[in-house]
């Protein structure tokens, strides 16, 4: 992981993105309706991760971007060098009256490999690390508890691997370039690196 002192220099301007979601037609940039909640997931390449969440009832909108590092307003090519410290993250805005954060966490754990450190499958680099970035202390508590619960499930299955997911309060989220937003809707044959461990998240 690059240090703050060695990270690439900040960029002066944000990346412009469309105001509305290509699939859902909902607002993709804040401010969001007050009743909605916001959370962030990093689970490898953000293309497939975003598609997973936008298809879920109760998820109002999604977007992909860069988070958890140092460089302000990073560009994709910069993030791919590993010198910004950012993950490829997915912004998820959801209606808690329809779906809970706990239910979203189950999707997170079951749809990627949370024990692989700075990689996800064949994708290697710090931007592919697993992370949960939370927007409230309640989310943070739930995220940490869910990690412990899933770790026990892995152990019970006979796995000796340890979850490496980074869990923290959300740092600034920088929207990725427009062509990355809802990429797999625009490019249906595009690459999707999602793949879980095969271990279900226990219901109790």
Q: Which residues are annotated as catalytic?
A: 45
Assign residue 95 a region: left if phi > 0, alpha if psi is -120 to 50, beta otherwise?
A: beta
* Pairing status of strand 130-134 against strand 123-124: unpaired
Contacts of residue 98, Cβ cutoff 8 Å, sequence gap at least 6 = 57, 58
Tell me if residue 23 falls in helix, strand or coil.
coil
* Pairing status of strand 174-175 against strand 166-169: unpaired
Beta-carbon count within 10 A of 52 CB = 22
The phi and psi torsions of 166 (rounded to 5 degrees) equal -80, 125
Contacts of residue 129, Cβ cutoff 8 Å, sequence gap at least 6 = 42, 87, 117, 118, 119, 120, 164, 166
Q: Is 50 in contact with 64 (CB distance < 8 Å)?
A: yes
Q: Is 93 in contact with 193 (CB distance < 8 Å)?
A: no
């Amino acid at each position: 992981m690059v240090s703050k002192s060695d990270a690439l220099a900040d960029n002066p301007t944000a990346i412009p993105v469309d105001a509305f979601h290509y699939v859902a037609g909902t607002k993709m940039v804040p401010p969001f309706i007050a009743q909605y909640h916001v959370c962030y997931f990093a689970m490898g390449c953000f293309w497939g991760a975003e598609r997973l969440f936008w298809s879920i009832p109760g998820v109002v909108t999604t977007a992909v971007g860069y988070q958890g590092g140092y460089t302000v307003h990073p560009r994709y090519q910069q993030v791919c060098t590993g010198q910004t410290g950012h993950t490829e993250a997915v912004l998820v805005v959801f209606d808690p009256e329809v779906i809970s954060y706990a239910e979203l966490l189950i999707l997170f754990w079951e749809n990627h490999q949370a024990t692989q450190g700075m990689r996800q499958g064949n994708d290697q680099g710090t931007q592919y690390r697993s992370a949960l970035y939370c927007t409230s202390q309640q989310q943070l508590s739930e995220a940490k508890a869910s990690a412990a619960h899933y770790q026990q499930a892995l152990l019970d299955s006979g796995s000796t691997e340890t979850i490496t997911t980074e869990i923290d309060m959300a740092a600034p989220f920088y929207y990725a370039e427009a062509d990355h937003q809802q990429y797999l809707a625009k490019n249906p044959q595009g690459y999707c690196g999602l793949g879980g461990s095969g271990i279900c998240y226990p219901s109790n």
